[in-house]
Amino acid sequence: MSNDTTGSRTGASAPRRIRTDARRNVEALLDAAKTVFGTSGVDAPAKEITDLAGVGVGTLYRHFPQRSDLIKAVIEREIDACADAAPALAAEHPPGIALARWLERLAAFVVTKRGFAAALHSGDPAFDGLSGYLMEKLGPALGSLLDAATAADEIRAVVSSQDLLYAVAKLCAPLPDEEPDYGRRMVALLVDGLRSIDTQR
Amino acid sequence: MSNDTTGSRTGASAPRRIRTDARRNVEALLDAAKTVFGTSGVDAPAKEITDLAGVGVGTLYRHFPQRSDLIKAVIEREIDACADAAPALAAEHPPGIALARWLERLAAFVVTKRGFAAALHSGDPAFDGLSGYLMEKLGPALGSLLDAATAADEIRAVVSSQDLLYAVAKLCAPLPDEEPDYGRRMVALLVDGLRSIDTQR
DNA sequence: TATAGTTCCGGAAAGAGATTCCGCTTCACT
DNA sequence: AGTGAAGCGGAATCTCTTTCCGGAACTATA
């Protein structure tokens, strides 16, 4: 009676490890959903996703009871990937270039993932917290790039990472009739501005 | 054989007048849709709308074969209302105040109508042209207010109506975790800046 | 490795809502 | 008033979502 059936040190919160097939299915679903969302939009039939993932519908609903759960998971995964790209860039390039490259990558993400801006602006309470997640994950990543670039005297210290993040998010959520790379151009301009140390008095 | 069956002067393009009951139903549907969209979101069941409008589902689909047609029509109607408000404001207030009031009204529209930002950012080609419609209708309305205010020396002539329009549209499409009146505040700030003639050298 | 106890899976079935279709009504014009 | 077109309602149909449960697969233990 007094024995912990799992033997785990973490206690009541982790009664058992997640089954490996379950994790594999979740990954397959997220991959499939990312692809299908890109092809047919976020309102694509569930069957299209489950077929591509090679699982039954039941499995989809087990892991993502609401469609918004699936959308959120896909987006959060992309945000993570974006954050993870920062250290590699920082290692490969001088600070100013690393920052520019990373912002380009962020802009590309926001521009191409229409579903992202749509979810962010949908007003659906299911997506509350998404922009919080964005700040939380990307804020530090951007912050360290920014600090490094500032310390190396490659940019002017005039913006916070939050300022930049929101600026990119808002500028890159394009209006339909805008030229397609309006957002990217504006961000590039912004970065050029930041890096224009030598033209300053 | 050679007779025009309608007797209309406009020729082939207007074979017959639109039936008054049809027009009445369209109006009822738009009113109902506006209300229901506000209450239950743009994905509300069609029945909810037709019931409120007091018509059958068939009637909805006759006039708006796609849901996006209905959404577009509702939004365009609000845009029209916004544009129509300009002359009245211009008649009642001095130019600078009229401009400020109108921008407040525009901001309120963008902020409250979540569906607007969502449609604009959805990426669905069905909504292409919406932002064009916005520019086309609101551009001149804002332009005349702006010209009047500039002529009366109540604001500085530093922005185009398109600049202002896009600025409002983008600033007021709020991220979920932002304070709710972030957009309104930013627009107010913008207007204050425009009107700060006396503090300029 | 064999066993017991869970967790997870697939896909049929039920439910919910969207969309079509057509006989009947209402309107505009003469 | 008569006539033909336009429009209407809502039952029927179709599509997609969501639930449900018998059985398969996995993990922990001996």
Q: What is the pLDDT of residues B4-21, one digit of tens each?
A: 333 334 444 456 688 999
Superfamily of domain A17-65: Homeodomain-like (1.10.10.60)
Nearest-CA neighbor of B53 among B32, B26, B27? B32
User: Mind listing the pLDDT tens digit for each residue in A108-147?
Assistant: 887 677 777 777 777 777 888 888 898 899 999 999 998 9
- State residue A177's pLDDT score: 65
Report, as an integer, the average pLDDT of B171-175: 70
- State residue B179's pLDDT score: 67
Distance of alpha carbon B73 from alpha carbon A73, whole angstroms:
33
Nearby residues of A13 by Cβ (< 8 Å), 6 or more positions away: none
- Enter the tokens of residue A162: 């939050």
Tell me which of A13-27, A149-163, B185-199 is least confident. Answer: B185-199
**Is the CB of B122 less than 8 angstroms away from the CB of A118?**
yes
Where are chain A's structural domains? 17-65, 74-195
- Enter the tokens of residue A52: 């591509």
Distance of alpha carbon B144 from alpha carbon A181, whole angstroms:
30
CA of A54 to C1' of D2 (A): 66
Coil, helix or strand for A31? helix
Place of tokens 């800046």: B193
Which of A41, A117, A135 lies nearest to residue B121, judging by beta carbons?
A117
Tell me which of A190-199, B86-95, B115-124 is least confident. Answer: A190-199
Report, as an integer, the average pLDDT of B181-199: 69
**Is the CB of A171 less than 8 angstroms away from the CB of B170?**
yes
CA of B43 to C1' of D19 (A): 22
Contact call for residues B195 and B154 (beta carbons, < 8 A): yes
In chain A, the N- to C-terminal Cα span, in Å, equals: 76
Residues of B within 8 A of A132 (CB-CB) are 177
CATH of A74-195, one of 3.40.190.10, 3.40.50.1980, 1.10.357.10, 3.40.630.30: 1.10.357.10
Is the pLDDT assigned to residue A15 strictly greater than 80? no
DSSP 8-class letter at B194: H
**Is the CB of A121 less than 8 angstroms away from the CB of B124?**
no
Residues of A within 8 A of B41 (CB-CB) are 123-124
**Is the CB of A175 less than 8 angstroms away from the CB of B131?**
yes
Contact call for residues B89 and B98 (beta carbons, < 8 A): yes
CA of B20 to C1' of C28 (A): 10
- Mean pLDDT of all residues belonging to chain B: 82
Distance of alpha carbon B105 from alpha carbon B81, whole angstroms:
10
Provide the CATH number for the domain formed by B72-195 in this structure: 1.10.357.10
- State residue A111's pLDDT score: 67
Is the pLDDT assigned to residue B3 strictly greater than 60? no
Amino acid identity at B174: P
What is the domain class of B16-65 according to CATH? mainly alpha
